[in-house]
Amino acid sequence: MSFTRRELLERCAAFGALTISTSIPLSSLAYAWDEAEKKIPTPTCELGPFYKRQAPTTSQLRAPGDSGMPLALSGTIYDVRGEVVPDAKLEIWQTDNDGHYDIEGYRYRAVLEPGAKAAYAIETVMPGHYPQRVCQHVHYLVTAPGHKPLITQMYFATDPVFDGNPDKNYTRDPLLTSRELVRPVMIKGDATQVVAVVNFDLVMETL
Amino acid sequence: MRGLVLAVLMISAATAAVASQAVKVQLPCESRDQMLSPTGAQAVVLCKDKSIHLVNLPDGSERLLFPAERDVSALSFSQDGKWLAAGFHDGTVEVLPSQGTAATRRWKADARRIDNLYFFADGKMLFVSAMNHPGTIWELSDTPTQRATLPDNFGGVASVAVSPDGKLLVAAGGDTVVRWYDTSTWQMSREYDGFLLDTFALTFTPDGKNLLAGGADSRITIFDVASGKQVRQLPPQMGSSVGGIDFLSDKSRVMTDYFDNAGEKPPHRLVWNLTTDKSTPVQIDFRPTCGSVVDGKLWLCNTDGRTLTITQHD
């Protein structure tokens, strides 16, 4: 069983575990706490033309020998109160390193069910550029009971399109709806393998 | 008024099989993207500077529809060509006369970018869908009134069609599900979830007995409207998606637009004969900047950026 911060506060007070020494009403204190933890919903993007249903459940999208820089992509799914969404389901899809979507099959397409901690992680490759889109991107569809479906796309701050300045140049892709969606890329590894590491947390709105 | 460059002339086409008649007009701006009205009387010109103009054919007279800052996201003509609907990034919709001085209707239809607009045959109702939001039905009175919302799971609406008798609306969702609605009650009467990929084009046969659906699975699927069951599929064009389906004048052949999934090859067109399920490629030696079936015949646009040439193909 899990509790929201407000529920936890109220239960603590009910069991005497929390002493309110000021004249601030409990409801106000709970509200202030909630406000401090509030998260902004992840900006939405269009679904795109190549979403495909029934992708396999896997976190390993990269196969041995695949071209392109390995990419470790991870994050956590929250609601706007800052609580994790334990029953979320993610669908992730992207092009291969040459900028091609797999229409016939399910390469670089995955379904993830992160579970109680709402944390996800996939191993994939940096998607390529393709002619009709300006920027490299990864598609997300996140669904969870009681929440609005979240459709968005994640972009890379290292994308050459941004000329090293995504703050200034993110609008070069007309479909990139918010600077928030451009994520920093950390390069990790050693002489044998270099991996791009990106964190992309998602915030869902409640219905 | 822009000068008329050339009236009507006969040109020879790329192959002996195609004879074309052309209209050539000067564009009001640099443009690589246009849209023809269903009657062929006008062309909407989307300018490089993002302004949008309406050009009368064949005389070339034009007027500014929207300056660049209006941020138009969707456009659609009514089926008689008399009205034009425009959707905007802020969720506003405008319905304006393509000719004359009738009043423009403008209203906030959604909070998000408008992606799809579709006039019913009588021009009195408009289907509207915004990015990732369910489709809505609007009655086009002086003050447009929302009549229905057509729910989906996610992803909004990719394409829509209304049956020739107006009794049935079919909407293909971004969630890949095709839903059938009774237009008298707006209740969903049927749902088809056999597609795994998006459907970008829906068209009823002129007799209303069949529905043709095409999309990212690269093929046309034919449904029996009465039962909702899939009748057959035409052979796929691997690597391409179906982007548009229009019936030609003999009503047994359909013009089908395909776009390359990788975006590397130019779009191509096939004419499918629904009696034989055989296709014939449309042979042209240019990359069309717009295309439409007008009076049962294919019209294609070709531009050098400053002039627009429209050819009619038999």
Q: What is the CATH number of the domain that holds B251?
A: 2.130.10.10
Contact criterion met (CB < 8 Å) for A50 and B263: no
Asked if residue B269 and residue B169 are part of one domain, the reply reads: yes
Contact criterion met (CB < 8 Å) for B176 and A49: no
Instruction: Please check whether residue B257 touches A, CB under 8 A.
Output: no
Distances, alpha carbon B80 to alpha carbons A204, B17, B39, B119, B121, in Å: 43, 30, 7, 10, 8
Instruction: Write out the residue range of the structural domain in which residue B185 sits.
Output: 157-283
Question: Domain limits of chain A?
Answer: 5-37, 70-204
Write down which residue in B150, B170, B196 finishes a domain. B150
Asked if residue B217 and residue B197 are part of one domain, the reply reads: yes
Asked if residue B278 and residue B185 are part of one domain, the reply reads: yes
Residues of chain A neighbouring B132 (CB-CB closer than 8 A):
44, 46-47, 149, 151
Best residue in B46, B198, B238 for a mutation probing chain A (most A CBs within 10 Å): B198
Q: What is the pLDDT of residue A17?
A: 46
Contact criterion met (CB < 8 Å) for A149 and B176: no
Residues of chain A neighbouring B176 (CB-CB closer than 8 A):
51-53
Asked if residue B192 and residue B173 are part of one domain, the reply reads: yes
ipTM surpasses 0.90: no
Q: What is the pLDDT of residue A133?
A: 76
Asked if residue B168 and residue B139 are part of one domain, the reply reads: no
Give mean pLDDT, residues B106-132: 96
Instruction: Please check whether residue A132 touches B, CB under 8 A.
Output: yes
To the nearest whole Å, the CA of B37 is away from the closest chain A CA by 25
How many domains does the structure of chain B reveal?
3
With CA atoms as reference, the chain B residue closest to A145 would be B153
Q: What is the pLDDT of residue A34?
A: 58
Instruction: Please check whether residue A129 touches B, CB under 8 A.
Output: no
Residues of chain B neighbouring A103 (CB-CB closer than 8 A):
197, 216-218, 239, 261
Contact criterion met (CB < 8 Å) for B263 and A149: no
* Range A86-113 burial, b when 16+ CB lie within 10 A, else e: eebbbbbbbbbbebbbbbeebbbbbbbe
CA distance B93 to B66: 13
Return the SS3 of B35: strand
Asked if residue B296 and residue B277 are part of one domain, the reply reads: no
Q: Are B107 and B90 in contact (CB under 8 A)?
A: no
Asked if residue B189 and residue B113 are part of one domain, the reply reads: no
Give mean pLDDT, residues B188-205: 96
DSSP letter at B69 equals G
Instruction: Please check whether residue B241 touches A, CB under 8 A.
Output: yes
Q: What is the pLDDT of residue B9?
A: 32
Helices A5-14 and A26-37: crossing angle in degrees, nearest 10, is: 150
When CB atoms are compared, the residue of B154, B216, B238 closest to A50 is B216
Q: What is the pLDDT of residue A2?
A: 43
Percentage, residues of chain B above pLDDT 90 = 83
Please give the mean pLDDT across all residues of chain B.
Answer: 91
List CB contacts of A28: < 8 A, sequence separation 6 or more.
none
Q: Are B151 and B129 in contact (CB under 8 A)?
A: no
Asked if residue B182 and residue B255 are part of one domain, the reply reads: yes
Q: Are B173 and B152 in contact (CB under 8 A)?
A: yes
Per-residue pLDDT of chain A (207 residues; tens, 9 = 90+): 444 444 444 544 444 444 444 455 556 555 555 555 789 999 999 998 999 999 999 999 999 999 999 999 999 999 999 999 999 999 999 999 999 999 999 999 999 999 999 999 999 999 999 877 789 999 999 999 999 999 999 999 999 999 999 999 999 998 888 999 999 999 998 888 899 999 999 999 999
Contact criterion met (CB < 8 Å) for B198 and A101: no
Residues of chain A neighbouring B112 (CB-CB closer than 8 A):
44
The span from the first CA to the last CA of chain B, in angstroms, equals 32
CA distance B253 to B236: 17
Best residue in A53, A95, A147 for a mutation probing chain B (most B CBs within 10 Å): A53
Residues of chain B neighbouring A100 (CB-CB closer than 8 A):
261-262
Contact criterion met (CB < 8 Å) for A143 and B154: yes
**Considering just the CA atoms, what is the radius of gyration of chain A in Å?**
20
Best residue in A42, A52, A89 for a mutation probing chain B (most B CBs within 10 Å): A52
Return the SS3 of A29: helix
Residues of chain A neighbouring B197 (CB-CB closer than 8 A):
50-53, 103
CA distance B303 to B5: 13
Q: What is the pLDDT of residue A24?
A: 53
Asked if residue B184 and residue B112 are part of one domain, the reply reads: no
Partners of residue B42 on adjacent β-strands: B56
To the nearest whole Å, the CA of B152 is away from the closest chain A CA by 11
Is omega for the bond preceding A70 within 30 degrees of 0, making it cis? no
Contact criterion met (CB < 8 Å) for B261 and A132: no
CATH of region A70-204, choose from 3.40.50.280, 3.20.20.70, 1.10.3720.10, 2.60.130.10:
2.60.130.10
Task: Give me B194's structure tokens.
Answer: 């056999």
Write down which residue in B85, B120, B150 finishes a domain. B150
Asked if residue B144 and residue B42 are part of one domain, the reply reads: no
Instruction: Please check whether residue A128 touches B, CB under 8 A.
Output: no
DSSP letter at B217 equals T
Give the number of other Cβ atoms within 10 Å of residue A150's Cβ.
25
Give me the residue label for tokens 């990015």. Answer: B131
With CA atoms as reference, the chain A residue closest to B242 would be A49
Asked if residue B101 and residue B190 are part of one domain, the reply reads: no
To the nearest whole Å, the CA of B192 is away from the closest chain A CA by 14
CATH for B134: 2.40.10
Asked if residue B242 and residue B126 are part of one domain, the reply reads: no
Q: What is the pLDDT of residue A30?
A: 58
CA distance B304 to A158: 36
With CA atoms as reference, the chain A residue closest to B197 would be A52
Contact criterion met (CB < 8 Å) for B261 and A50: yes
Residue pairs between chains A and B whose CB atoms are closer than 8 Å: 61
Task: Give me A41's structure tokens.
Answer: 């919903």
Instruction: Please check whether residue B153 touches A, CB under 8 A.
Output: yes
Strands A70-79 and A202-204: parallel
Q: What is the pLDDT of residue A36?
A: 54
Instruction: Please check whether residue B267 touches A, CB under 8 A.
Output: no
With CA atoms as reference, the chain B residue closest to A55 would be B196
- What predicted TM-score, i.e. pTM, was given to this entire model? 0.87
